[in-house]
Amino acid sequence: MAEISASVVMELRQRTGLGMMECKKALVETQGDLEKAEELLRIKSGAKASKAASRVAAEGTVGGFVAADGKTAALVEVNCETDFVARNEDFLKFAKDLAERVASKNPADVEALSVLPFKSGEYEGTVETVRQALVQKIGENLSVRRFAYRTTAHRLVQYLHGGGRIGVTTEVDGDEATGKDIALHVAASVAGTRPLCIMKEQVPAELVDKEREIFKAQAAESGKPAEIVAKMVEGRVAKYLAEVTLLGQPFVKNPDETVEQYLKGKKAAVKAFDLLVVGEGIEKKKDDFAAEVAAMTKS
């Protein structure tokens, strides 16, 4: 059998939030298959969905822009090496100006954005040459990672949280205050369960099927009769769909009502949303697990 590396064990631990030894045992049992090991741990422990997507490991900011008519908007994630630079005025202006450029030109991707004519503060050229000039001035590597462009016949509202650590654009059929409330809710969901989509009908069938199989395996271990197990599974699926859809979640400003109920009270509807979190999915060196790794390698 292939040796289970410490890095793979740590990856599984970050996904599940479980102990190093539990993760190592699951990887041994699944012959090093990370996905199968994650499912096995969820079945055995009842662990919640993967935490991998919520890792925030890089510094930077999300720049935002909404056109005056509220019909076009953009978010842009720009990364840097330190939190100190993430608060630099030139860096923040670069991100904000970049979001405005995306909103006005709707480039196909980051590469197409990089060659657009661009001006930010004292610098002018293309996006790439301005980026390089800022690298020289600030003394850190800066990178334009991704952006979210949106245009609509309805209304677009933005919310930037934590000095630009989180950026949200909501598309609403309603007033600006309602759009801001929904954007605030989506930003707050980063600390819990992020909505995958607006309503349960939009959740990909393969995701629902995967969760149903995990719930079946968990319920089967209860030893209850088949008909009870079936009801348990469907109840868990319904709960899962409420957790991962925007309309089904408890509204952040009033957890006694769902987002759907809040919107009905406002006679409004959410059509779409964009969410960018600085550094999401980018790994950064951590020393937190050193002692655990040492103990694991001795076992």
Query: Please, which residues have CB within 8 angstroms of residue 218's CB and are 6 or more apart in sequence?
Result: 42, 43, 46, 236
Give, to the nearest 10 degrees, the angle between helix 89-105 and helix 127-138: 170
pLDDT at 47: 47
Predicted local distance difference test score (pLDDT) of residue 283: 61
Give the pLDDT confidence score for residue 295 in this predicted structure: 52
Q: In this structure, which CATH number among 3.40.120.10, 3.40.50.12160, 3.40.50.970, 3.30.479.20 belongs to the domain 59-192+269-277?
A: 3.30.479.20
Residue 221 in contact with residue 46, Cβ under 8 Å?
no
- What backbone torsions phi and psi does residue 172 show, to the nearest 5 degrees? -130, 150
Task: List C-alpha distances in Å: 106 to 147, 148, 168, 214.
Answer: 10, 9, 18, 41
Partners of 170 in the beta sheet?
157, 273
Q: Which residues contact 204 (CB under 8 A, 6 or more apart)?
A: none
Spatial neighbors of 24 by CB under 8 A, at least 6 apart, are 4, 9, 296, 299
Residues above pLDDT 70, as percent of the chain: 87
**Domains in the chain: boundaries:** 6-54+198-264, 59-192+269-277
Quote the pLDDT of residue 77.
96
Place of tokens 């059509």: 271
pLDDT value at position 46? Answer: 53
**Is 222 strand, coil or helix?**
coil
Spans in the chain with pLDDT lower than 70? 1-2, 14, 16-18, 44-57, 283-299
pLDDT value at residue 296:
45
pLDDT of residue 54: 39
Q: What is the pLDDT of residue 177?
A: 96
For 2-54, write each residue's pLDDT tens digit.
Answer: 678 888 888 887 676 667 788 888 889 888 888 888 888 777 655 443 443 33
